[in-house]
Structure 1
Amino acid sequence: MMKTSTIISIVLYIILASVGSKAQAQKSKEDNYQINGQIKGLNNNQIFIIVYKEGNEKTDTLTTISVGEKFEMKGFTDKSRSVQLHLGEINPRKNSYFYLEPGIIKITGNVDHPDEIKILGTETNEAYTRTQEFLVPLYKRRSALIQQIRNLKEGTPDYKNLAVSIKSKSDSVNDYKILFIKENPRSDISLGYLYVLQDNLPVGLADSLYTNLVPNLRSTVQGKYIGDKLAASKTVAVGKKAPDFTSSDTTGAAIKLSDFKGKYVLLEFWAHWCVPCRAQHPHMKVIYDKFKDKGFTILQYSIDVKKDEKKWKEAIVKDGLVWPQASDLSNGKAPVAELYGVQPIPDSFLISPDGTIIGRRLSHQELEDILSQKLSK
Structure 2
Amino acid sequence: MKKLVLSAVALLPLAVLAQKPFTINGDVKGLKTGDKVYLVYRAAGEEVTDSAVVSNGKFGFKGTLAEPARGNLFLNKNPYVNRPAQGERLDLASLYIEPAAMKVTAADSLKNIVITGSVVNDDEKKLKALTKSLSDQMAAVNAQYAALSPEERKVQEKVLRDKYMSLQEQVKPIQLNFAKGNPKSYISLSALSQLASEPELAADVEKAYAALSPSLKATQSGKDLAQLLAAGKATAIGAMAMDFTQNDVNDKPVKLSDFKGQYVLLDFWASWCGPCRAENPNVVKAYNTYKDKKFTVLGVSLDNPGKKDAWLAAIEKDGLTWTHVSDLKGWDNAASKMYGIRAIPANFLIDPTGKIIAKDIRGEELQTKLAEVLGTSASK
TM range (shorter): 0.7 to 0.9
Taking the aligned partners of 1:260 and 1:104, their CA distance within structure 2 comes to 54
Distance change (3 Å), C-alpha of 1:346 and 1:288: same
Q: Summarize deviations over 1:17-71 as a string: whole Å, max 9, x none.
A: xxxxxxxxxxxx99x756343365x333222333543246x7362524052xx32
User: 1:321 — aligned with what?
Assistant: 320
Q: CA deviation at 1:290?
A: 2.8
Amino acid at match of 1:63: A
Answer yes or no: is the 8 Å Cα contact 2:275–2:345 preserved in 1: yes
How far is the alpha carbon of 1:226 from its aligned partner? 1.7
Match of 2:196, SS state, is helix
Distance 1:59 1:126 in 2: 23
Deviation at 1:291, TM superposition (A): 2.6
Say if 1:247 and 1:328, in contact at 8 Å, map to a contact too. yes
Gap regions ≥5 residues in structure 1: 1-28
More off after superposition, 211-220 vs 102-111: 102-111
SS at match of 2:357: strand
Give the aligned residue type for 1:250.
V
Which residue number in structure 1 is paired with residue 195 of structure 2?
197
Match of 2:272 in 1: 273
The residue that corresponds to 1:86 in the other structure is 74
Could you give the per-residue CA deviations for residues 110-161 of structure 1, whole angstroms, max 9, x where no partner exists? 53x83x644245433223234345445355235336647994799x773432
Q: Whole-Å Cα distance in 1 between the matches of residues 146 and 164 of structure 2?
A: 11
Q: Is the 8 A contact 1:149 1:163 kept in 2?
A: no
**Per the alignment, do residues 367 and 36 of structure 1 end up closer, same or farther by CA in structure 2, a change over 3 Å counting?**
same
Quote the residue 1:10 is aligned against: none
> What is the total number of aligned residue pairs between the two structures?
341
Match of 1:54 in 2: 44
* Counterpart residue number, 2:228: 229
Measure, in 2, the Cα distance between the counterparts of 1:237 and 1:343: 15
1:1-377 to 2 correspondence within 5 Å? 35-38=25-28, 40=30, 42-44=31-33, 45-50=35-40, 52-55=42-45, 59=48, 61-67=50-56, 70-73=57-60, 81-82=68-69, 83-91=71-79, 94-103=92-101, 105-108=103-106, 111=109, 114=111, 117-133=113-129, 134-135=131-132, 137-138=136-137, 140-144=139-143, 147=146, 151=150, 158-201=156-199, 202-305=201-304, 307-329=306-328, 333-376=332-375
Query: 1:146·1:166 contact (CA, 8 Å) conserved in 2?
Result: no
User: Aligned partners of 1:210 and 1:239: how far apart in 2?
Assistant: 24
Percent of aligned positions that are identical: 30
3-state DSSP class of the match of 1:230?
helix
Measure how far apart 1:369 and its partner are.
Answer: 1.8
> How far off is 1:101 after superposition?
4.6
Say which SS state the counterpart of residue 40 (structure 2) adopts.
strand
SS in 2 for 1:283: helix
SS of the counterpart of 1:280? helix
Q: Is the 8 A contact 2:37 2:74 kept in 1?
A: yes
How far apart, CA to CA, are the structure 2 residues paired with 1:78 and 1:326?
Answer: 35
Change (3 A) 1:100 1:65: farther
TM-score of the two chains, using structure 1 as the length reference: 0.77
Moved more, 293-302 or 351-360: 293-302
Aligned mates of 1:110, 1:197 — CA distance in 2: 36
- Change in CA separation of 1:127 and 1:121 when aligned onto 2, cut-off 3 Å: same
Between 322-331 and 343-352, the greater mean CA deviation after superposition: 322-331
For 1:164 and 1:308, locate their aligned partners in 2 and report how far apart those are by CA, in whole Å: 37
Residues 211 and 151 of structure 1: CA distance in aligned 2, closer, same or farther (over 3 Å): farther
Checking the alignment, whether the CA contact within 8 Å between 1:238 and 1:359 is kept in structure 2 is yes
Amino acid at match of 1:343: R
Name the structure with the higher helix share: 1
Which structure has the larger Rg?
A: 1
Q: Once the 2 structures are TM-superposed, how far is the Cα of residue 253 of structure 1 from its aligned partner?
A: 3.3
Q: Output the CA distance in 2 between the equivalents of 1:105 and 1:173.
A: 29
Q: Is the 8 A contact 1:51 1:81 kept in 2?
A: no
Point out where structure 2 has 5 or more consecutive residues left out of the alignment: 1-19, 81-89
Which residue type is aligned with residue 123 of structure 1?
Answer: V
Q: What's 2:16 paired with?
A: none
Q: How far did residue 281 of structure 1 move? A: 0.6
Structure 1 position 372, deviation (Å): 1.7
Question: Any idea what SS the aligned residue of 1:91 has?
Answer: coil
Cα separation, 2, equivalents of 1:268 and 1:229: 18
Asked if the contact 1:98–1:119 (Cα under 8 Å) also holds between the matched residues in 2, the reply is no
Range with greater deviation from structure 2 (262-271 or 134-143): 134-143
Q: 1:357 Cα deviation (Å)?
A: 0.5
Q: Is the 8 A contact 2:279 2:362 kept in 1?
A: no
1:300 CA drift (Å): 0.7
* Counterpart residue identity of residue 124, structure 2: Y
Alpha-carbon contact 1:277-1:346 (below 8 Å) kept? yes
The separation in 2 between residues aligned to 1:331 and 1:160, in whole angstroms, is 33
Q: Which letter maps to 1:86? A: F
User: What secondary structure, in the 3-state scheme, does the structure 1 residue paired with 2:344 have?
Assistant: coil
Q: Kindly indicate whether the alpha-carbon contact (under 8 Å) linking 2:282 and 2:363 is maintained by their aligned counterparts in 1.
A: yes
CA-to-aligned-CA distance 1:203-226 (integer Å, 9 cap, x gap): 323322322221111111222122
Q: Normalization by structure 2: what TM-score?
A: 0.76
Q: Whole-Å Cα distance in 2 between the matches of residues 247 and 271 of structure 1? A: 15
